[in-house]
Structures are given as structure tokens and as C-alpha cells.
Amino acid sequence: MVKLSVIAPIYNEEENILLLHEAITNAVKNKVESYEIVLVNDGSRDRSASILNDLAERDAAVRVIHFVRNCGQTAAIYAGMKESKGELVALIDADLQTDPRDIFKLMPYIPNMDFVNGKRVRRKDTLVKKVSSRIGNGVRNWLTGDEIYDTGCPMKLMKREVADSYYLYEGMHRFLPTLAKINGFKVIEIAVSHQERQHGVSKYGVFNRAFVGLMDAIVIGWLRKRVIRYQIRGQ
């Protein structure tokens, strides 16, 4: 088993892949005893697949997973976690709006915490995106009974047992901190940096987050109220 797995879902990110690889490599090389970079191609229609294959041939630390068709961000993250081998699992988006070096802002909270969620405090997004995200987080917390400031932050670090505990359905990547709590793990949020997207466009708009995310939050809230907790009395 390697020490750290860095997982990134890829969907039509041909302009960002090499930059992403360079940023992750520079961030983790010589900082951990062993690492792997797991890049999940979520049915990209541009040149992402060929760029990823070339990258994997040149760098033994890179592992590539290709989906036959586009299955969505939850599926890509889930596949990456299931195929990864690291004692610690870091998640990051391919758009480089979060900085791989921030993994080491989160790492000191391991092992006292099981899951460390990044918190974007100075976001470099449009006003509409910032407002919709703030409202979305508020509604999700209200429906799920949680207190996560930025559940949508792509920068996350968790222990292997947390990653292995998940059984995800579509859309549940937005609730990973809450699901970790439901599964009995300790969660903390730590501030991370946030940058403007340099290449490509966001694959997720305001409305396709809002309506689907609302229904998903209702489901998560329902599940949280029905978690089984028991203790066995000693003889």
C-alpha cells in the first residue's frame, strides 16, 4: 500500500491535465514516502484520454481509469477511491482552482481526525456562483442537520477506512463529510486557497446543482435520522 493517493475526476480537461499532473507531482514529491496519482476519465470527448494514456506511460506514479461513457462526478470519485491504494486519500478537481500543496495544510489533522474537508474562504468565482454555493450549503445543512461550511470544496483528505466505508449513489459526492460523520468518523474543516480557473469551463451550472442537490439533501437528512447506534452491555 502506498502512503498517499491523489484522485482527480477528469471530464474534457485537455488543457489542464498536464498542468494538474505537474502541480500534484511538485506538491507531493519528496513530501511523502510513496504516492500515486489516480486520474479518472469520465467519458471525455476531447483529447483527454490520449493525453492521460501518454502521461501514464511516462510516469509510473500515474494510474488512469477510463469510463466507457460519461457517468458523472460522483461515479468518477467513487471509482477513484475504490481503485486507489493509499493509506490516505486526497481528492482534488482537475480545474486547478484548488492547490495540491494544500494537502499538507490538511495532513497535520490526521490521525486525530479521520476526514479533513477543505474550506474555501476567499473564493475566486463569480458572484452568482458564490451566492448559489452559500445558499446551497445552508440549505444542505438545514436538511441534513449538519454544520459543514463548504461541503462542495473539492479539496478533501481522508483515511483509507473512511474511503472504504462509502457506498455512493449519484450526487452524493456533495455530502462526503456528512456521510463520513454518519459512518462514525471524526470530521474537521480547514481553510484552503482558491484560484480562478485558467483553462476550460465549469461542467456544473447553478441550476443543475440546485434542484438535484435539494433532493439529495433530503435523502441524506432522512438517512442520518435513521442511523443505527447501539452499545452492547457487558456481562
Any idea where the domains of the chain sit in the sequence? Answer: 4-225
Q: Prior bond to 100 cis, omega within 30?
A: no
- Rounded Cα distance between 135 and 132, Å, is 5
CA distances from 161 to 112, 158, 165, 185, 230 (A): 14, 8, 6, 9, 20
Buried b (16+ CB within 10 A) or exposed e, 10-29: bbbbbebbeebbebbbebbe
C-alpha cell at 87: 493509506
pLDDT grade, residue 131 (50/70/90)?
very low
To the nearest whole number, what is the mean pLDDT of the chain?
85
Mean pLDDT (whole number) for 158-164: 98
Quick one: how far is CA 145 from the chain centroid? 21
Q: How many CA atoms lie within 13 A of 136 on its CB side?
A: 24
pLDDT grade, residue 216 (50/70/90)?
confident
Poorest-confidence range of 67-81, 123-137, 163-177, 202-216? 123-137
- Rounded Cα distance between 118 and 188, Å, is 9
Q: Which residues contact 35 (CB under 8 A, 6 or more apart)?
A: 2, 3, 4, 5, 6, 28, 29, 61, 86
pLDDT grade, residue 108 (50/70/90)?
very high
pLDDT at 224: 75
Poorest-confidence range of 45-49, 123-127, 147-151, 195-199? 123-127
Instruction: Tell me the CATH number for domain 4-225.
Output: 3.90.550.10
- Check if the beta carbon of residue 39 is closer than 8 Å to that of residue 52: yes
Dmax over Cα atoms in the chain, in whole Å?
Answer: 64
pLDDT at 228: 76
pLDDT at 196: 66
The pair phi, psi for residue 70, each rounded to 5°, is -70, 125
